């Protein structure tokens, strides 16, 4: 009994955790504000319709997985968008059993509609459908913020974690990705989690082999989520994670490739399950051009030149200068996120819609948090702390000012 609840006893919700929770709450409030200013779009209709089809029934079109066709870039976004709507509909069907016949919701709509009953036909009867479509992506954004906080605080301490998380929570690009059904924030979460889980597996290789298996199983699950988010994200996460493992797995470098291959195979099995074990829909992922990539500096130029990102851009430039100038900042914990951010920021999708530059932001913020944490511990720590806080407040002010309804 003591062992079963040991993890719960070790959990503490002290001041650092409360500050992180407050920042994530501010992130959620901004997200809800943006959602309240939105209306349903054609993209919402597509995700609602085809997302529900992945849960409730196969496509009425022979040879296709959904009426959207064979989803080849990332099925996870469709499943997450459709799940709250499917659960909401099941709940309404249950409530109809206790309503008078004339007050029933689902049955009345089905009788009055010549078309097949769908979430789109129910959009005026089912309340909060727009919010339900976006909740999974808002929660994924919070989960990504929590991952950034956990990694940066563990590596750099409280102040480094606060800096990275605050810049994340007031990033307009991240907020925009979290308030519409799309695979971007899911892919960012998968790639970031995969790379740092690979690093955790490499560290565990220094210990007994029995400790490897749970982390390899966790890595396979994360690879599956990454592949289901966007098929191009899996090879990127595997390659970046393998490079990090080769760096630190001294004495076990020959075993890193088999570990990554096993985890990748497990991830593909989970991806197959996300396609309902449909061989045709699953094979189309590899027959399409969704994973094609190329290099371009345009995404980086657009991101860093945007006025709403001035605080983050200045923080990134300052962190790069400090990294190059201060020898103590050039170590593994800072170099890995810098290299990952650089690689992802320079990639563009040529076969399917995708934003690798957005996937790079968690690594960029981790790098900024790490370098700033080194500066906070330096001889001019108070000056560095004041400069870091000023950049965070600047980014927060610009982000809040860019929210619709507040800029007037």
The pLDDT tens digits of the residues spanning 318-337 come to 999 999 998 889 999 999 99
pLDDT of residue 120: 47
Distances (CA, A) of 41 to 48, 59, 345: 11, 22, 29
In a shared domain, residues 104 and 224:
no
Please provide the DSSP assignment of 231-293 as one string. Answer: TTHHHHHHHHHHHHHHHH-TT-HHHHHHHHHHHHHHHHHHHHHHTTT-HHHHHHHHHSSTT-E
- Find the mean pLDDT for residues 368-394: 94
Q: Identify the domain boundary among 115, 131, 147.
A: 131
In a shared domain, residues 114 and 147:
no
- Find the mean pLDDT for residues 52-80: 79
| Lowest mean pLDDT segment, chosen from 27-36, 38-47, 223-232 | 38-47
Assigned domain for 7 exists: no
3-state secondary structure of 23: helix
Quick one: the chain helix, strand, coil %, rounded to 5? 75, 0, 25
pLDDT of residue 408: 42
Whether the predicted pLDDT of 316 surpasses 60: yes
67: containing domain: 42-131
Assigned domain for 14 exists: no
Pairing relation of β-strands 347-349 and 293-295?
antiparallel
| Lowest mean pLDDT segment, chosen from 104-108, 175-179, 204-208, 250-254 | 104-108
Distances (CA, A) of 303 to 248, 307, 308: 32, 9, 9
Q: Identify the domain boundary among 91, 114, 131.
A: 131
In a shared domain, residues 232 and 365:
yes
Whether the predicted pLDDT of 113 surpasses 50: no
In a shared domain, residues 273 and 333:
yes
Assigned domain for 156 exists: yes
- Find the mean pLDDT for residues 67-86: 85
**Where residue 114 falls among pLDDT bands split at 50, 70, 90?**
very low
What tokens were used for 269?
Answer: 């099995």
Assigned domain for 137 exists: yes
Q: How many domains does the chain have?
A: 2
pLDDT of residue 407: 47
Residue keyed to tokens 């983050």 = 312
In a shared domain, residues 92 and 190:
no
Phi, psi of 11, deg, nearest 5: -75, 135
In a shared domain, residues 283 and 332:
yes
In a shared domain, residues 112 and 205:
no
| Lowest mean pLDDT segment, chosen from 81-90, 98-107, 251-260, 261-270 | 98-107
* Cβ contacts of 323 within 8 Å, gap of 6 or more: 329, 330, 334, 338, 367, 371
Whether the predicted pLDDT of 39 surpasses 50: yes
In a shared domain, residues 274 and 291:
yes
CA angle 23/167/27 to nearest 5° reads 35
In a shared domain, residues 305 and 357:
yes
Whether the predicted pLDDT of 115 surpasses 50: no
Integer Cα distance of 249 and 228 in angstroms: 28
Integer Cα distance of 203 and 269 in angstroms: 26
Q: What is the pTM of this model?
A: 0.90
pLDDT of residue 123: 52
Q: Identify the domain boundary among 99, 131, 163.
A: 131
pLDDT of residue 228: 94
With residue 348 as reference, give the H or E element that holds it: strand 347-349
Assigned domain for 16 exists: no
Assigned domain for 355 exists: yes
To 10 degrees, the CA torsion angle through 278, 279, 285, 287?
-150
In a shared domain, residues 224 and 237:
yes
In a shared domain, residues 106 and 160:
no
In a shared domain, residues 116 and 139:
no
Assigned domain for 90 exists: yes
- Find the mean pLDDT for residues 111-131: 55
Assigned domain for 15 exists: no
For the chain, what's the residue count?
Answer: 408
């Amino acid at each position: 009994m003591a062992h079963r609840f040991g993890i719960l006893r070790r959990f503490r919700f002290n001041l650092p955790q409360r500050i992180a929770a407050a920042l994530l709450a501010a992130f959620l409030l901004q997200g809800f504000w943006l959602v309240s200013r939105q209306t349903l779009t054609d993209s919402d209709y597509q995700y609602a319709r085809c997302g529900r089809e992945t849960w409730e029934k196969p496509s009425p079109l022979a040879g296709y997985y959904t009426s959207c066709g064979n989803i080849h870039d990332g099925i996870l976004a469709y499943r997450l968008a459709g799940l709250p709507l499917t659960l909401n509909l099941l709940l309404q069907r249950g409530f109809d059993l206790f309503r008078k016949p004339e007050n029933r919701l689902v049955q009345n709509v089905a009788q009055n509609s010549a078309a097949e009953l769908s979430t789109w036909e129910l959009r005026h009867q089912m309340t909060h459908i727009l919010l339900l479509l976006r909740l999974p992506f808002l929660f994924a954004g919070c989960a990504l913020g929590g991952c950034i906080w956990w990694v940066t605080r563990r590596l750099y301490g409280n102040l480094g974690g606060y800096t990275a998380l605050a810049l994340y929570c007031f990033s307009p690009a991240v907020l925009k990705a979290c308030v519409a059904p799309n695979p971007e924030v899911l892919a960012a979460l998968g790639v970031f989690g995969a790379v740092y889980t690979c690093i955790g597996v490499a560290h565990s290789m220094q210990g007994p082999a029995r400790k490897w298996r749970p982390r390899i199983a966790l890595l396979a699950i994360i690879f599956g989520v990454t592949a289901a988010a966007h098929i191009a994200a899996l090879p990127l996460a595997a390659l970046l994670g393998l490079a990090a493992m080769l760096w630190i797995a001294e004495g076990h470098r020959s075993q890193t490739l088999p570990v990554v291959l096993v985890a990748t195979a497990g991830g593909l099995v989970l991806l197959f399950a996300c396609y309902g074990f449909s061989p045709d829909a699953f094979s189309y992922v590899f027959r399409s051009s969704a994973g094609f990539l190329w290099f371009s500096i345009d995404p980086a130029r657009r991101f860093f030149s945007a006025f709403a990102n001035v605080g983050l851009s200045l923080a990134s430039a300052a962190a790069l200068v400090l990294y190059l100038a201060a020898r103590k900042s050039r170590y593994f914990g800072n170099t890995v996120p810098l290299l990952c951010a650089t690689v992802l920021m320079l990639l563009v999708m040529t076969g399917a819609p995708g934003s690798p530059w957005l996937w790079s932001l968690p690594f960029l913020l981790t790098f900024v948090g790490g370098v700033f944490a080194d500066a906070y511990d330096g001889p001019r720590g108070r000056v560095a702390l004041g400069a870091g806080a000023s950049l965070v407040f600047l980014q927060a002010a610009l982000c809040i000012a860019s929210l619709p309804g507040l800029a007037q």
